[in-house]
Amino acid sequence: MEDIDEDELLIFEKVLGQLQANIKGIGGENKEISQKN
């Protein structure tokens, strides 16, 4: 991780935040899918 610069880290944090928001948004659907599998 020594080679990661701050700009890349900010982008990563932004994308990670969007992913977490998406996961919360579809959390209910995921629970139903998990029970079927």
Q: Which pTM does this prediction carry?
A: 0.51
Q: Quick check: 11 pLDDT over 60? A: yes
Greatest Cα pair distance in the chain: 42
| Residue 30 binned pLDDT confidence (cut-offs 50, 70, 90) | low
Q: Helices in 1-37 by DSSP H: which ranges? A: 6-25, 27-36
Using a 10 angstrom Cβ sphere, with 0-12 exposed, 13-18 middle and 19 or more buried, the burial of residue 1 is exposed
Measured CA to CA, the distance from residue 4 to residue 11 in angstroms comes to: 11
Measured CA to CA, the distance from residue 30 to residue 7 in angstroms comes to: 32
pLDDT at residue 31, rounded to an integer: 62
Share of the chain above pLDDT 70, in %: 68
